[in-house]
Amino acid sequence: MHILTGLGALTALFLASPLTAQSPAAASENSKSDNSAPVVAKSRPIAVSPPRQIHPILKLTIAPEKRGDLSTCGDRDQSALKFVAETCWPVLQAYQDLIRLQKASRTAIAAHDAGAANAEDLKSRALAMAFKSAEKHGSGRWPMQDEIAQSSYRALIAMLKKFGESDAALAAYDGLIGVQGRSLMYNGTARRGYLYKDKSEYLLELGRRDEALANFQAAIALADREPIDMISNVEHAELIAYDAIIAKDQDRALDAINMFLDKTERHSRHQDLVYYPVQILKIYILAGRNDADGVLAELKSFNSLSRRNMCQQKKPVEYYFPQVISPTQSDPRIAAELETFDCSAAIIAAMDANMANGVLASDGVKPLPPR
């Protein structure tokens, strides 16, 4: 079962240097045929590669007579994985399979990056290990087996991406999401939202926007079927909406934003935290269309949920606010609403100039297009 079995082509990468070597000077002296006194050669210190370290988990085993003791197998605390592996035979087997798979995956990826002739063979070997691990442990009886199976899928996805097998990588994402959906670990539904988001990010990298939007819809639809905190979908909504804005597809952006805001309003316990990053993108679109009524409605909703002064943050711009209101800030109703955010006259006066250059988010990335 060992991952290194049969990988003889890689052995040369780990061989130690020769243990001894004769110096050139000594070789020259020894080649002389005169009767001079023999010269003792001074050998150079030779750097010897350290032995490969075996992962501690691979050294573990459980005595056959104790493998039937499953008293610790039901633990659902991620931090207890090592303890459970030391005492629960099914989890130890899954963990060891994962470690071997991760090693094989890294080896295949490194061979690919180096342009090695055997990269495809190494990939095939690692893929076989990944499928075996995911199939064997993905529907396991114990929570930690599900957790380990998810890590197996992640290794599989990383390798498929590296080798450019996008359809297979997307299928692996579906497998990962499915395992997460069955997970018995704590906080499973919240984490699943981020898996959906990661899949959408990859779809957008591939230019498959329609599939990314459909994947986003599937993610937020979880809130209709099970208790899930919508905070896990904030970054996902921003990702879809921002990509659409950059692609000059504002209708698509609004579709995603409204879909998210509707679900958040009905299901989230933290509306004040999740609303504003996405709602500000909606204000940007509406203001760009000179829809003063729409901007005002969003500002009022935004203001009723926000628990902090958005115009007086330590950083000059908080999620593009209030610059995104340009050019509708001259509307008296909007100007009055901005006063409730404590936006100074100087800030309001500078909105148009700031938007003319494009506005950065507070972390200095993802500039909104200027107008």
pLDDT in tens, 339-348: 888 788 888 8
336 and 371 share one domain: yes
Residue that terminates a domain, selected from 186, 207, 239: 186
- Report the number of distinct structural domains present in the chain: 3
If one compares 92 and 267, the residue with the highest pLDDT of the two is: 92
Residue that terminates a domain, selected from 186, 216, 251: 186
297 and 194 share one domain: no
Q: Report the alpha-carbon distance of residue 53 to residue 73 in Å, rounded.
A: 28
354 and 242 share one domain: no
Chain Cα centroid distance, residue 117: 30
Instruction: Look at residue 315 in the predicted model and tell me its pLDDT.
Output: 52
Which residues are registered as beta bridge partners of 318? 321
Instruction: Report yes or no: 260 and 278 within 8 Å, Cβ to Cβ.
Output: yes
If one compares 299 and 22, the residue with the highest pLDDT of the two is: 299
| 116 domain-assigned | yes
Exposure on the CB side of residue 15, measured as CA atoms within 13 A? 8
65 and 157 share one domain: yes
- What average pLDDT does range 58-82 have in this prediction? 90
| 281 domain-assigned | no
Q: Report the alpha-carbon distance of residue 258 to residue 256 in Å, rounded.
A: 6
At 312, the pLDDT band (50, 70, 90 cuts) reads low
Q: Report the alpha-carbon distance of residue 149 to residue 121 in Å, rounded.
A: 23
Give buried/exposed letters for 154-191 (b at 16+ CB in 10 A, else e).
bbbbbbbbbbeeeebbbebbebbbebbeebebeebbee
Least confident range from 28-37, 147-156, 288-297: namely: 28-37
161 and 225 share one domain: no
The CATH number of the domain holding residue 249 is: 1.25.40
Q: Report the alpha-carbon distance of residue 22 to residue 346 in Å, rounded.
A: 78
**Maximum distance among all alpha carbons in the chain?**
108
**Residue 280, both tokens:** 């500000």
Return the residue matching tokens 């050669």. Answer: 41
User: Residue 321: helix, strand or coil by DSSP?
Assistant: strand
Domain that holds residue 76: 56-186
At 220, the pLDDT band (50, 70, 90 cuts) reads confident
At 233, the pLDDT band (50, 70, 90 cuts) reads confident
70 and 157 share one domain: yes
**Cα angle value 365/277/232 (rounded, 5°):** 100
Whether the pLDDT of residue 6 is over 50: the answer is no
**Residue 270, both tokens:** 């933290």
**Which spans in the chain are helix H?**
11-14, 24-30, 81-87, 89-113, 119-137, 143-162, 166-182, 188-205, 209-221, 234-246, 250-267, 271-288, 292-305, 332-339, 345-349, 351-356
87 and 171 share one domain: yes
160 and 70 share one domain: yes
| 29 domain-assigned | no
| 333 domain-assigned | yes
Q: Report the alpha-carbon distance of residue 258 to residue 287 in Å, rounded.
A: 16
| 23 domain-assigned | no
Q: What is the pTM of this model?
A: 0.77
User: Residue 141: helix, strand or coil by DSSP?
Assistant: coil
| 26 domain-assigned | no
Please tell me the total number of residues recorded for the chain in this structure. Answer: 371
Instruction: Report yes or no: 123 and 159 within 8 Å, Cβ to Cβ.
Output: yes
142 and 197 share one domain: no
Dihedral over alpha carbons 116, 121, 127, 128 (to 10 degrees): -160
Q: Report the alpha-carbon distance of residue 253 to residue 240 in Å, rounded.
A: 7
User: Residue 68: helix, strand or coil by DSSP?
Assistant: coil
Whether the pLDDT of residue 272 is over 80: the answer is no
| 198 domain-assigned | yes
Residue that terminates a domain, selected from 269, 298, 315: 269
314 and 356 share one domain: yes
150 and 62 share one domain: yes
Instruction: Look at residue 294 in the predicted model and tell me its pLDDT.
Output: 96
195 and 310 share one domain: no
Return the residue matching tokens 């995603």. Answer: 256
| 234 domain-assigned | yes
Instruction: Report yes or no: 122 and 103 within 8 Å, Cβ to Cβ.
Output: no
To the nearest whole number, what is the mean pLDDT of the chain?
79
